[in-house]
């Protein structure tokens, strides 16, 4: 796996990788992470992948982190942990 870029963002760590014919977009926030795989056949360059990271996509991904936190806390609560 080759790291192509760290993409600055104030709320999450975003890293772009190239691996096995795919671009991987990895977003991390606290203990949670999301990875999106984009086939190199679907885009012409990593600039196209960066274009996917528009405000609408990032807002949805950040909201998903909140849902992930809520789901994990609910599991802890159900099991009195």
Domain ranges of the chain: 2-78
- Res. 25 pLDDT band, cuts 50 70 90: very high
Q: Can you tell me the mean pLDDT for 5-12?
A: 97
pLDDT for 1: 93
Two tokens, residue 51: 């274009």
What is the pTM assigned to this prediction? Answer: 0.92
Residue-wise pLDDT tens digits, 28-64 = 999 999 999 999 999 999 999 999 999 999 999 999 9
Q: CB of 9 within 8 A of CB of 22? A: no
pLDDT for 76: 97
Q: Which residues pair with 35 in a beta bridge?
A: 26
């Amino acid at each position: 796996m080759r790291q192509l870029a760290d993409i600055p963002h104030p709320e999450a760590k975003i890293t772009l990788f190239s691996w096995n014919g795919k671009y991987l977009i990895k977003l991390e926030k606290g203990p949670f992470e999301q990875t999106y795989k984009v086939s190199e056949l679907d885009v012409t360059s990593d600039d196209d992948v960066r274009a996917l990271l528009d405000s609408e996509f990032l807002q949805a991904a950040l909201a998903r982190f909140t849902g992930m936190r809520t789901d994990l806390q609910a599991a802890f609560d159900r099991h009195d942990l």
